[in-house]
Structure 1
Amino acid sequence: MPTLSYTPDNTPPGAIALAAQTPVNSAPVGVGLASMAGTAAAPAPVALDQAPTAIAPTALTVDQQVRTDAPPAAVAVQGVTPDATAPAALPIASTAWSNVAPTPVAIGGMTGTEATPQLVAFAPIIPLPTDSNMHTAALNFVGQLKLNQLFGFYKAPAPVAIRGVQLAAQTAPTGADVTVELVDPDGVSLGRTATLPAGKTYADVTFATPLPVLAGALVRAKVTQIGSGAAGGYLTANLVVQVVS
């Protein structure tokens, strides 16, 4: 590689004359600008591609928006071809009017008849006794018992069943039992009898079949047998009553 060598020079550099930098004290010459020259004349019109025109614009045809008084053309839809014929009347048998009287409909077990209605026996269902629907009614005989004597009465406040009778006497019968029968206000038997054995002053009798009594009906007691020695006396017959309504 060659060795470079240079000799240093401590002398100041010479001045460089620059012609473009020579100062000039004269006024600058005016520069004419053709594009900026002032004029009193009106500017010439400039033609533009969008120049306005006095001609009326041409009407625009818009597809599917043209109004017409003609009926619209039928549009065929696949599987739904329109039909210009009037629809056929649909017969509806279930709503056809008729002045003919309807034919009676026979219902099993409910066929109408003009025969005299038959009486139906009422057999009430008597539930088991409870404290809420049980009560007693006292029928009292004052004095010595007399044969065939009616005493006391009970009026049913609702449909009830008389389940039995409790007999209590101050004077016990002797020689024969005392029997008491439940009857209506006319003394007709209701088919239920209670017995006070001879020598006893109390008997609790429960009927095998309770006696049904309608609301408002009256029940009385009747002495059908007395003691042959001492008749017995001051007898109370407590009816054991159950409300069944």
Structure 2
Amino acid sequence: MTASSFDLTGRRALITGSGSGIGLAYAEGLAAAGAEIILNGRDKAKLAAAEAGLRAKGYKVSSRAFDVTDPEAVQAGVDAIEKEIGPIQVLVNNAGMTIRQPLEDFPVDSWRRVMATNIDSVFYVSKAVAKHMLPRGYGKIINTCSVMSELGRPSIAPYTASKGAVKMMTRQMAVEWGRRGIRSNGIAPGYFKTELTDALVKDEKFSSWLEARTPLGRWGDVSELQGACVFLAAPASDFVTGHVLFVDGGLTASV
């Protein structure tokens, strides 16, 4: 094992939902390992700010705005990247959202919105990218799962259902595409401080419960997800596929 096993120089990575939070942390980690980065999201202003921030650090980065819940927009966006920027060797499916409401009261349109963002997008983007990866015989797909791929909590039924589905889609892609050179793995974050979790971070009762429940005794910082992403994108993991790597401070190991 050498440092070159984690070197991503010459590789190009598309990260969905990367205008901020976990997606942007993934992007910075991959860029620091040498990869060229393509940011994706729907908010052009947020993408521009994220791109500028990474460029200021000397990284090679561009951004493309398209809606990952729209299959036609996804196919057009991926095809344009392949034609205008170059081949995608690494795909990180990170776009995600949640809506909190009791299951018995959950509106159908909200259910569909969460499922479209969290699992439909993984299918659309992976399919579009795989059509280019498969003929080349190599690629890495990394899907953002969650501790909720294995656990449940009140009020987030579509989130837990969708993240369980992402876990199984990750395994299915590994089974179908492994012999054709594509490795498919997942990262399952625990509780990290992001814009989406800010309300929970500020909730003293919840934070106290979480810190007591987590063996490492604290919230995670998004930078602590970068090593897992680099590993799964790099040659070091070339014999790893169908695996979900939990980065959760031990949360899922604790009763």
Interval containing the TM-score (normalised by the shorter chain): under 0.3
- Normalised by the length of structure 2, the TM-score is 0.19
Q: Which has the larger radius of gyration?
A: 1
Relative to its length, the structure with more helix (as a share) is 2
Relative to its length, the structure with more strand (as a share) is 1
- Normalised by the length of structure 1, the TM-score is 0.20
Q: Which one scores higher on RCO, CA 8 angstroms, separation ≥ 6?
A: 1
